[in-house]
Amino acid sequence: MTHPPLSLVRLRPKADVRAIRHGFPWVFADELVTDRRTRALAPGTIARLEDAERRPLGTVAVNPNSKIICRMLDRDPEAEIGEDWFAARLRRALALREAAFAAPFYRLIHAEADGLPGVVIDRFGEAAVVQPNAAWAESRLDALIAALRSVTGVRAVVKNGTGRARTLEGLPEETVLLEGTVEAPVPVPMNGATYMADLLGGQKTGLFFDQRPNHAFAATLAKGGDVLDVFSHVGGFGLAALAGGAARAVCVDGSAPALELAEQGAAASGVAERLETRRGDAFDAMAALAEDDVRFHLVVCDPPAFAPSKQALEAGLRAYERVARLGAGLVRAGGFLVLCSCSHAADLSRFRAASVRGIGKAGRRGQIIHTGFAGPDHPMLPQLAESGYLKVLFFRLTE
């Protein structure tokens, strides 16, 4: 079968060709020759990328309407981006997850780091949630889903088409059940606890797998103590701590449905009598606990991304500092404070500095005993700092 020739796009002479040759997966709009022909390409068009000397660099997906105008799909300029190509990427990703996890509950595809730029797939046993956050993936969704079912054997597939990334690509927001049926919520075993994931109506894909190793480490610190899990979502840190032997956990979140799922997870885990949930603004809740002079052995603060972009960085760092200040005030002397950031714009050093400032402003002092990152189902592409977004600081407060 013959295929029509691919469109050609070319780098400007001053573009950083070396970075692209060494694995950087994006081309920004100011690095590409954007003549009338290039601007006329439909978002998601597959093209061959050349350097300014017309030497081939690989096969890319083009979106003339995006700041990231090209995403590298394959170093082979003759690659055919179809079902077989998707299946090869999925098999490679699956091999890592099957080596790392005993049960099929994990992030299967972590976008650029797994060779599928802008695509996230989380697996929940026989169901999967796909986030096609780039125009090229949206336009080839049928081939991706067919390959996913063939490689993994999943029976149900949900498309979660929500979030900032899709907006930047000019894509509509929608959540659709594409294949099979989904019984909501889905029980997910992790770290000795059972979490309940709403695949159709929950936040993002329904559960955050990235914190799994940090849940486990926090649980070892919580044995026999009481735990405050702020921005708890469906009870991530709280349920793991209870499963690990914590005496009591209080989960605070602004979402009533998320807290209801936390309660269902506690019941499924056999720890319902030791879980308390509080709905409300996290900052207000922490201030109220301080007012009542309540203290905990372990306090965890896992907020949403306060600095999702460089433009939001300074405001985000101030928010992280405030979280640290309020959280530190709720920890008993000798207890532990866990602070998390999923903001890729705030690197580890700046997040750590903001956290230490907040702890100091609370009149507390402590030690960093561990720094956590995402689990192995969230691999980091070394050339793309954004793929290593999660940072978790574990403090022991000595005074």
pLDDT tens-place string over residues 328-345: 999 999 999 999 999 989
Quick one: DSSP state of residue 311? Answer: G
pLDDT of residue 55: 96
Whole-angstrom CA distances from 151 to 139, 208, 283 are 20, 23, 44
For 219-278, the pLDDT digits (tens) are 999 999 999 999 999 999 999 999 999 999 999 999 999 999 999 999 999 999 999 999
The catalytic residue among 70, 251, 301, 342 is 342
Q: How many CB atoms lie within 10 A of CB 4?
A: 5
pLDDT of residue 4: 60
Residue 187 belongs to some domain of the structure:
no
Environment class of 172 (CB within 10 Å of its CB; exposed 0-12, middle 13-18, buried 19+) = exposed
Q: What's the whole-number average pLDDT of the chain?
A: 95
Residues 144 and 16 both lie in one domain: no
Residue 160 belongs to some domain of the structure:
yes
Residue 119 belongs to some domain of the structure:
yes
Final residue of a domain: which of 146, 179, 212?
A: 179
Provide the H-helix boundaries in 158-235.
Answer: 164-168, 212-222
CATH of the domain at 151: 3.30.750.80
Q: How many CB atoms lie within 10 A of CB 363?
A: 10
Residue 69 belongs to some domain of the structure:
yes
Task: Give the Cα separation of 292 and 130 in Å (integer).
Answer: 44
Final residue of a domain: which of 47, 74, 101?
A: 74
Give the residue-averaged pLDDT of 29-51: 95
Question: In which band, very low, low, confident or very high, does the pLDDT at 2 lie, cut at 50, 70 and 90?
Answer: very low
Tell me the helix, strand and coil percentages in the chain, rounded to 5: 35, 30, 35
Residues 96 and 241 both lie in one domain: no
367 residue type, one letter = Q
For 275-305, the pLDDT digits (tens) are 999 999 999 999 999 999 999 999 999 999 9
Residue 188 belongs to some domain of the structure:
no
pTM of the entire structure? Answer: 0.94
Residues 236 and 217 both lie in one domain: yes
Say whether pLDDT at 3 is over 70: no
pLDDT of residue 385: 85
pLDDT of residue 255: 94
Say whether pLDDT at 39 is over 70: yes
- Return the higher-pLDDT residue of 324 and 184: 324
Q: Is there a contact between 331 and 221 (Cβ–Cβ < 8 Å)?
A: no
Q: Is there a contact between 210 and 164 (Cβ–Cβ < 8 Å)?
A: no
Structure-block tokens of residue 305: 């991304």
Residues 217 and 273 both lie in one domain: yes
- Domain range for 255 is 198-397
Residue 349 belongs to some domain of the structure:
yes
Give the residue-averaged pLDDT of 152-177: 92
Q: How many CB atoms lie within 10 A of CB 2?
A: 4
Whole-angstrom CA distances from 193 to 119, 121, 216, 235, 244 are 28, 22, 10, 10, 9
Residues 226 and 168 both lie in one domain: no
* Residue 241, H or E segment: helix 236-243
Q: How many separate domains does the chain show?
A: 3
CATH of the domain at 265: 3.40.50.150
Residues 171 and 204 both lie in one domain: no
Give the residue-averaged pLDDT of 45-63: 97
Residues 219 and 299 both lie in one domain: yes
Q: How many CB atoms lie within 10 A of CB 266?
A: 27
Residues making up the chain, counted from first to last: 399
Say whether pLDDT at 42 is over 50: yes
Structure-block tokens of residue 50: 């050349």
Task: Give the Cα separation of 101 and 95 in Å (integer).
Answer: 10
Say whether pLDDT at 26 is over 50: yes
Q: Is there a contact between 226 and 297 (Cβ–Cβ < 8 Å)?
A: yes
Say whether pLDDT at 135 is over 70: yes
Residues 302 and 377 both lie in one domain: yes
Say whether pLDDT at 1 is over 60: no
Residues 125 and 40 both lie in one domain: no
The answer to whether 301 is a known catalytic residue is no
Residue 190 belongs to some domain of the structure:
no
Task: Give the Cα separation of 24 and 9 in Å (integer).
Answer: 17
Residue 191 belongs to some domain of the structure:
no
CATH of the domain at 35: 2.30.130.10
Residues 267 and 118 both lie in one domain: no
23 residue type, one letter = G
Q: Is there a contact between 157 and 127 (Cβ–Cβ < 8 Å)?
A: yes
Q: Is there a contact between 196 and 185 (Cβ–Cβ < 8 Å)?
A: yes
Q: Where are the beta strands (DSSP E) in 216-346?
A: 226-230, 248-253, 275-279, 296-301, 331-341
Instruction: Report the share of the chain in percent with pLDDT over 70.
Output: 98
Question: In which band, very low, low, confident or very high, does the pLDDT at 387 lie, cut at 50, 70 and 90?
Answer: confident
Task: Give the Cα separation of 342 and 164 in Å (integer).
Answer: 14
Q: Is there a contact between 373 and 390 (Cβ–Cβ < 8 Å)?
A: yes
Say whether pLDDT at 205 is over 80: no
Task: Give the Cα separation of 299 and 296 in Å (integer).
Answer: 6
Q: How many CB atoms lie within 10 A of CB 82?
A: 14
Residues 225 and 251 both lie in one domain: yes
Residues 322 and 288 both lie in one domain: yes
Q: Which of these, 97, 206, 210, 190, lies nearest to 151 by C-alpha position?
A: 97
pLDDT of residue 324: 98
Structure-block tokens of residue 394: 């574990």
Give the residue-averaged pLDDT of 128-152: 97
